[in-house]
A = this chain, B = another copy of it.
Amino acid sequence: MQLTGRQKEITRIVRENGPITGEMIAERLHVTRSALRGDLAVLLSGEVIAARRRLGYYYLGGGEDPAAAEIRSCTAESCMSRPIVVNVDTNAYDAAVLLFTEDIGTLFVGKEDDVLGVVSRKDLLKAAMGREDLAKVPISMVMTSRSKMIYAEPKEDMVSIAQKLIDYEIDCLPVGTFKDVGGEKKFVLQGRISKTNITRLFLDLGKGKQ
């Protein structure tokens, strides 16, 4: 079924927030409740949403962009690349060399089953601008440490990951999970997702390969 822009927007609001009252939908769209009546009728008759007394509207399925549905079905696991991990003893110069030899933009520091931080091309350029000898700068001085690290769960969908990349202005996220190992919290790395992976996915979708 072909929905208008506003109908799609209502569908999204109901899907993400339902059950939700008509008043609340109207408020989010900055329109009056009565201005929504027609659109809600269309969505109800098309069984995209349903209504229950005292509860509000809830999402039934469909009615959304096929592109959106297709994109939301992609998860980190199915799109991630192999991560490159360097020892915490590495210096910033050697880390930068590795970025070039591996042709990547981001490195992880520590071990695959215990990541301590993440280093990007941007971090290394900033360090280099300090005019210090990069070979004398420990990677741990340059990295973003685990406690501040933004990451993706293996089952996380790619839209949520793209949102993180944009919101936090980063190029690459580690994919993995925090695990309790003998009372200690460790980040176990499984992969990485960068804007390059998103671009590749976009390309596949655009070519109809997904």
Seen from chain A, the residues whose Cβ lies within 8 Å of a Cβ on chain B are 8, 11-12, 64-68, 70-72, 93, 96-97, 99-100, 103, 121-122, 124-126, 128-129, 131, 133-134, 158-159, 162-163, 165-166, 169, 171, 195-196, 198-203, 205-210
Q: Give the residues in chain B near A169, CB-CB below 8 Å.
A: 103
Q: How far is the CA of A40 from the CA of B46 in the complex (A)?
A: 34
Q: Which 10 A-B pairs have the closest CB atoms?
A: A159-B206, A128-B128, A67-B67, A68-B208, A195-B195, A66-B66, A71-B206, A65-B208, A162-B203, A67-B70
- 21 A-B residue pairings within 8 Å (CB atoms): A8-B208, A8-B209, A12-B208, A64-B208, A67-B70, A68-B207, A71-B202, A71-B206, A103-B169, A128-B134, A159-B203, A162-B199, A162-B203, A162-B206, A165-B199, A166-B196, A166-B200, A171-B195, A195-B196, A202-B202, A205-B205
Q: How far is the CA of A99 from the CA of B205 in the complex (A)?
A: 31
Number of copies: 2
Q: Give the residues in chain B near A129, CB-CB below 8 Å.
A: 93, 96-97, 128, 134
Q: How far is the CA of A198 from the CA of B8 in the complex (A)?
A: 22
Q: How far is the CA of A12 from the CA of B204 in the complex (A)?
A: 12
Q: How far is the CA of A65 from the CA of B208 in the complex (A)?
A: 6
Q: Give the residues in chain B near A126, CB-CB below 8 Å.
A: 100
Seed contacts A68-B208, A165-B196; 13 additional CB < 8 Å A-B pairs: A12-B207, A65-B70, A65-B205, A66-B67, A67-B71, A71-B205, A100-B126, A121-B122, A128-B134, A158-B202, A166-B199, A166-B203, A195-B198
